[in-house]
A and B are shown apart, each in its own frame.
Chain A
């Protein structure tokens, strides 16, 4: 259970300059169980397991925080805007309701 989750950050468009507004997409592989579904193999109800907090930050400064509930789809996808201010790192920290903590980061390299 402790294996790292697969996650991905994409910046759209790929080429950008300082001052441009880009879309930051974050996708993570996560079951997002609602706590209402039955496991097809065992017939027992699966416990709820979903991401509940996400923080987008640039160089340690959070610019977007999210609270998420189980109504979000499996393998969730979130997209927000961000204005590029310079070189650095976008980090996304996320926790789920079973106490898993993970983070993913991506370098920001604006073209001059």
Chain B
């Protein structure tokens, strides 16, 4: 019996896969789902625009972003950001924004820092729905923005 069931289920699985092979359909459906459901959804580009107000964002190696390469559980992904930039009254890091590229809401956390922090550092844990990039967008006191991104492979998504 068990063997029969197993073979049957195998056939069923291949049949389903054959019907819905175009992966684009899957992707579109997933997009629609996330777009409909979330209460305050925002795509990555919109979020960047809202933060920078259209200003240029440069990639920089001053930001040290630490994320795991492979996250087995997408519900808990540790993120650590360190910025090699002075924190004085004259020039400082004013904000660290943690963004993701594929969740329904691209914003994870906005952290406003002051010179009392002494060193620009922030650590937290975020949820990632699937394999995507985590981006740290850093605002400097002179009004410019720098960013650094790293992709995280997620085996099990963390957004229910």
Q: A21-B119, A66-B111, A83-B117 are in contact. Are A36 and B159 (CB under 8 A)?
A: yes
Chain B residue contacts of A85, Cβ below 8 A:
116
Q: Chain A: how many interface residues by the 8 Å CB criterion? A: 33
Mask for A68-97, Cβ within 8 A of B = 1, else 0? 111111101111111101000000000000
Closest to B119 in A: A81
Check: A48 CB closer than 8 A to any chain B CB: yes
Point out which of B75, B76, B109, B127 has the most chain A C-beta atoms below 10 A from its C-beta: B109
**By the criterion CB–CB under 8 Å, are B109 and A66 in contact?**
yes
Task: For residue B118, give the distance in angstroms from its CB to the closest CB of chain A.
Answer: 4
**By the criterion CB–CB under 8 Å, are B117 and A80 in contact?**
yes
Q: Interface of chain A, helix or strand or loop or mixed? A: strand
A62-B159 Cα distance, complex, nearest whole Å: 32
Closest to A70 in B: B105
**By the criterion CB–CB under 8 Å, are A80 and B113 in contact?**
yes
Check: A105 CB closer than 8 A to any chain B CB: no
**By the criterion CB–CB under 8 Å, are B109 and A68 in contact?**
yes
A62-B77 Cα distance, complex, nearest whole Å: 28
**By the criterion CB–CB under 8 Å, are A64 and B114 in contact?**
yes
Closest to A21 in B: B118
Mask for B111-136, Cβ within 8 A of A = 1, else 0? 11110111111111111100000000
Interface residue stretch chosen among B10-18, B36-44, B143-151: B36-44
Q: Which 7 A-B pairs have the closest CB atoms?
A: A37-B160, A83-B118, A79-B123, A63-B116, A73-B125, A67-B110, A71-B108
Interface residues of A (CB under 8 A from B): 21, 23, 32, 34-38, 48, 58, 61-74, 76-83, 85
Interface residues of B (CB under 8 A from A): 37-40, 75-77, 100, 103-105, 107-114, 116-128, 158-160
